[in-house]
Amino acid sequence: MGEWKVNMTLKVRPETRQEMDAFALREQRTLSNLATVLLQWAFEKLKAAGSVHELMQGKDSHWRCGEDDMKQTEILAFLSHQPVSQPVQSGDSSVV
């Protein structure tokens, strides 16, 4: 009947939420599905690296652990290999 899943709540900046909404719409996914895919992918990368510090020191050395040099919007653009489009206003106020 499908696998069990648990709820997670996290906080992101409103601008990040709007951009993720737009990205999910472009990908024809729900915001929840997009967040799940990104979280699973990122966690697999973290497990392979062994630590957040090692992950951030990898291929893209400008990502430094503890520094806020790269904004979340830039990370989304990097993952999509294209510029992030203008945010779309969403009437949905649920939290991922």
* DSSP letter for each residue of 27-69: TT--HHHHHHHHHHHHHHHHHHHSSHHHHHTSS-TT--TT---
In a domain, 6, yes or no: no
In a domain, 67, yes or no: yes
What is the per-residue pLDDT for 96? 41
What is the per-residue pLDDT for 79? 62
CA distance 84 to 73: 7
Per-residue pLDDT tens for 3-26? 888 998 989 999 999 999 999 999
Q: Write out the residue range of the structural domain in which residue 54 sits.
A: 14-80
pTM, to two decimals: 0.57
CA distance 89 to 19: 9
Sequence length of the chain is 96
Specify the number of domains making up the chain.
1
In a domain, 75, yes or no: yes
- Asked whether residue 45 carries a pLDDT value surpassing 70, the answer given is yes
In a domain, 74, yes or no: yes
47 confidence band (pLDDT: 50, 70, 90): very high
